[in-house]
Amino acid sequence: MHCKGCSLVFVPKVFHLNQANEKREYDLHQNCVHDEGYRKFLGRVSEPLLLRLPNASRGLDFGCGPGPALSHILEEAGHQMDIYDPYYSPNKFFKTKKYDFITATEVVEHFAEPGSELDHLWSLINRGGWLAIMTKRVTSLEAFANWHYKNDPTHISFFCEFTFAFLAKNWETEAEFIGNDVVLFQKPH
């Protein structure tokens, strides 16, 4: 399906995995904090974000997975981190806090209700703070048909640059695209 308003491509709910099957897919991922290749992969979001953060900022690694490598990288850089993942760290205390930044790496493509879920994350960010998202982007509907990324059964929401620009407009900010899969949003002061 394709949203005419924001250009999000999404899988109809009837095809979403149930929680048990979704978790089984996630358990196949091997994302270790000590894996240099994985740390380099996460550097695509951590490096540009770290250039923008004040020292000792408070952050949330949303959707951290079983091995919260990104939160470790950001803690090593001197930031205070909370983690959340619906399967591996399901504490929902983050919903009552405010953050200087929130990361969502390889997460938003799993959102069943991306608009409301992203709006909620945005509401948790302090003025001047950052939302950092890493996800592969749809380049065209024609290319989407042959795109390997859509074949993961847990991937149900697919964003393009227009989708992120649409969100930025609603949030009264700009979408800053970095490379092929990172986008940063700064909350206005």
CATH code where residue 106 lies: 3.40.50.150
Give the least confident one: 42-46, 138-142, 165-169. 138-142
Average the pLDDT over 151-161 and give the result.
98
Could you give the CA distance from residue 86 to residue 105 in angstroms, rounded to a whole number? 14
How does the average pLDDT of the chain come out, rounded? Answer: 96
pLDDT in tens, 26-77: 998 877 888 899 999 999 999 999 999 999 999 999 999 998 999 999 999 9
Q: Domain count of the chain? A: 1
Residue 115, in any domain of the structure:
yes
- Which residue's structure tokens are 């790496």? 105
Could you give the CA distance from residue 105 to residue 1 in angstroms, rounded to a whole number? 23
Would you call 35 exposed, middle or buried from its count of C-beta atoms within 10 A (0-12, 13-18, 19+)? middle
Residue 147, in any domain of the structure:
yes
Give the residue numbers spanning the domain of 118.
Answer: 9-186
Residue 171, in any domain of the structure:
yes
Residue 3, in any domain of the structure:
no
Could you give the CA distance from residue 38 to residue 33 in angstroms, rounded to a whole number? 7
pLDDT of residue 102: 99
pLDDT in tens, 80-117: 999 999 999 999 999 999 999 999 999 999 999 999 99
pLDDT of residue 39: 94
Could you give the CA distance from residue 133 to residue 115 in angstroms, rounded to a whole number? 14
Residue 143, in any domain of the structure:
yes
Q: Is 109 helix (H, G, I), strand (E, B) or coil?
A: helix
Residue 14, in any domain of the structure:
yes
Residue 24, in any domain of the structure:
yes
